[in-house]
Amino acid sequence: MAKKRIINESKIHGLVILKGAPVKEKSEESTYSFERVDQENKIKLNYELVPFGASYTYGALLVNESLAPITEIKARIKFPEFLTLSRISPTTISIAPQLDESGAKQINLEIDELSETSKNQINLYFKPLLLNKKGEIHTNVTYVNNKDFIRVLDSDPAEINIVEPEIEGKIIPSSKIAEFLKTKGIKKAIKSLGIATKGKEDMDLYFDHIKQLLGLHKFQLITKDDNKKIAWFFGMDLNTKEDILVIGQIVSNKIEFLAASQHHPVLISLLTILSNEFKKRILSIGKIKSIDNIYELECKYCGGVFDRFPKKGESIECKNCNRAQTIW
């Protein structure tokens, strides 16, 4: 069985309908010819694991290059326990991970038929729960070919390694911030949080915790505006030797960490630890009763960040995909 990686990231985000092309009525003649179609080495399973915003995207693509359909398709995607599945596309698929016999998490999918010369793709979006962890994501597919034989496709394991950044503060002039953000190949990611409390929010307190947290991680404060509640920090990750700009801000009732660097995986790790530690701080000072009272303000359909934190029970429309949803 031939295995290959998807050529570019854009393929991973183009959605396809899970049920494939509509099944056409086949005459006896066409059915007869389908039975004689050679499907060997023409059913392929491709995959790719890439950073996407503050998460990782794993795309599995099943391709039927033959002139006959395949049926009774069952896919199993296994991933390590230190990852959480935040969303999946197409969004019609329900998120219900199970545990296999080894304790790994697993998503099970079924497709009735994949028509001739067609393909189906599924994208899974993972967020790290813990740092300094290494694991694999693996896809297994079984199907029935045109001769009623069961065939199996196995992807190579996609390795994922979540490494905690080791930061050293670095001073740059504030005038160089805009220039850094325009650097060729720069990657950007964001964590946007909403805190659900009954009382009045103490945004000054939250902003103080943002600044303290970034200082504890040894980032150098470059400049800040306490009235607008925004601060710019700079540093270098000693593991990758890449510079990192972090902006901590409060805007539209949102607590946000924005980060930019040439090395995308370090941004995901950094935003994971900043988000986790900020949540623990707010819980420890008694502003919330549970970590569940802090919401990640990310569209469940496209992953876009909401422009504000809506009130309880209020529906908000994503400015990116124009779909409405209720956060809490």
Spatial separation of the C-alpha atoms in residues 7 and 11, rounded to whole Å: 8
Burial of 18 (0-12, 13-18, 19+ CB in 10 A): middle
CATH of domain 9-162: 2.60.40.740
Residue 34 confidence (pLDDT) = 67
- CATH architecture classification, 167-296: 2-Layer Sandwich (3.30)
Tokens of 325: 């949803």
Annotated domain spans of the chain: 9-162, 167-296
Residue 33 confidence (pLDDT) = 61
Q: For 222-231, which contacts have Cβ atoms below 8 Å and span 24 or more sequence positions?
A: 222/171, 222/172, 222/174, 222/177, 223/174, 229/203, 229/204, 231/207
Q: Which of 53-62, 144-153, 197-206, 254-263 has the lowest mean pLDDT?
A: 197-206
Say what the pTM is. Answer: 0.85
Q: In the predicted model, what is the mean pLDDT of the chain? A: 89
Number of helices and strands (H, E) in the chain? 5, 19
**Cis omega before residue 90 (within 30°)?**
yes
Residue 215 above 50 pLDDT?
yes
* Average pLDDT, integer, range 186-198: 94
Residue 51, H or E segment: strand 43-52
Residue 27 above 70 pLDDT?
no
Tokens of 223: 């400049």
